[in-house]
Amino acid sequence: MRTRTLIKVATASIQKNRMRAALTMLGIIIGVAAVIVMVAVGYGARTRIREQINNLGTNMIVITPGASTQGGVSQGAQAFPNLSLKDVDKIRNESQYVSAISPVIVSRTAVIGPAGNWRTTINGVDTDYQIIRDWQPSSGDFFSADDVRSTRKVAVLGNTVAQNLFPGQDPVGTDIQIRNAVYRVVGVLSVKGQNASGNDSDDVVLIPYTTASTALSGRSFIPQILASTSNSQDIAPAEDEITSILREAHKTDGTNDDFTVKNQNDLAQTAASSTNVMTMLLAAIASISLLVGGIGIMNIMLVSVTERTREIGIRMAIGARGSDVLTQFLVESVVMGILGGIAGLALGVISAKLVGHFTGWETTISPVIMAVAVAFSGAVGIFFGYYPARKAAALNPIQALRYE
How do residues 37-57 score in pLDDT, each as one tens digit?
888 887 777 776 666 666 666
Q: Is it the case that residue 374 has pLDDT exceeding 90?
A: no
pLDDT recorded at residue 286: 66
- Average pLDDT estimate for 69-77: 46
What is the spatial distance between Cα 81 and Cα 220, in angstroms, rounded to a whole number?
A: 9
Co-location of 384 and 284 in the same domain = yes
Co-location of 107 and 250 in the same domain = yes
Each residue's pLDDT tens digit, 187-230: 999 988 776 566 788 999 999 999 998 888 666 678 899 999 98
Co-location of 26 and 121 in the same domain = no
Confidence of residue 402 (pLDDT cuts 50, 70, 90): low
Asked if residue 65 is part of any domain, the answer here is no
| Domain end call among 236, 257, 278 | 257
3-state secondary structure the chain: CCHHHHHHHHHHHHHHCHHHHHHHHHHHHHHHHHHHHHHHHHHHHHHHHHHHHHCCCCCEEEEEECCCEECCEECCCCCCCCCCHHHHHHHHHHCCCEEEEEEEEEEEEEEEECCEEEEEEEEEECCHHHHHHCCCEEEECCCCHHHHHCCCCEEEECHHHHHHHCCCCCCCCCEEEECCEEEEEEEEECCCCECCCCCECCCEEEEEHHHHHHHHHCCCCCCEEEEEECCHHHHHHHHHHHHHHHHHHHCCCCCCCCEEEEEHHHHHHHHHHHHHHHHHHHHHHHHHHHHHHHHHHHHHHHHHHHHCHHHHHHHHHCCCCHHHHHHHHHHHHHHHHHHHHHHHHHHHHHHHHHHHHHHCCCCCCCHHHHHHHHHHHHHHHHHHHHHHHHHHHCCCHHHHHHCC
pLDDT recorded at residue 55: 61
Co-location of 241 and 133 in the same domain = yes
What is the spatial distance between Cα 269 and Cα 77, in angstroms, rounded to a whole number?
A: 20
Asked if residue 384 is part of any domain, the answer here is yes
| Domain end call among 257, 281, 312 | 257
Co-location of 175 and 236 in the same domain = yes
Asked if residue 127 is part of any domain, the answer here is yes
Asked if residue 60 is part of any domain, the answer here is no
Asked if residue 72 is part of any domain, the answer here is no
Q: What is the mean pLDDT of the chain?
A: 81
Asked if residue 284 is part of any domain, the answer here is yes
Asked if residue 30 is part of any domain, the answer here is yes
Q: Is it the case that residue 8 has pLDDT exceeding 90?
A: no
Co-location of 291 and 360 in the same domain = yes
- Average pLDDT estimate for 300-325: 76
Co-location of 311 and 191 in the same domain = no
pLDDT recorded at residue 207: 95
> Residue 222: which domain range?
81-257
Co-location of 91 and 170 in the same domain = yes
Co-location of 108 and 231 in the same domain = yes
Co-location of 214 and 352 in the same domain = no
Number of domains in the chain: 2
| Domain end call among 199, 231, 257 | 257
Q: Is it the case that residue 72 has pLDDT exceeding 50?
A: no
Co-location of 231 and 366 in the same domain = no
Confidence of residue 74 (pLDDT cuts 50, 70, 90): very low
Q: Is it the case that residue 73 has pLDDT exceeding 60?
A: no
**Cβ 162 vs Cβ 118: under 8 Å:** no
Co-location of 102 and 186 in the same domain = yes
Each residue's pLDDT tens digit, 257-285: 888 888 766 665 666 666 667 667 766 77
Threshold 0.75, pTM exceeds: no
pLDDT recorded at residue 71: 45
Asked if residue 117 is part of any domain, the answer here is yes
Each residue's pLDDT tens digit, 116-153: 899 999 999 999 999 998 888 999 999 999 999 999 99
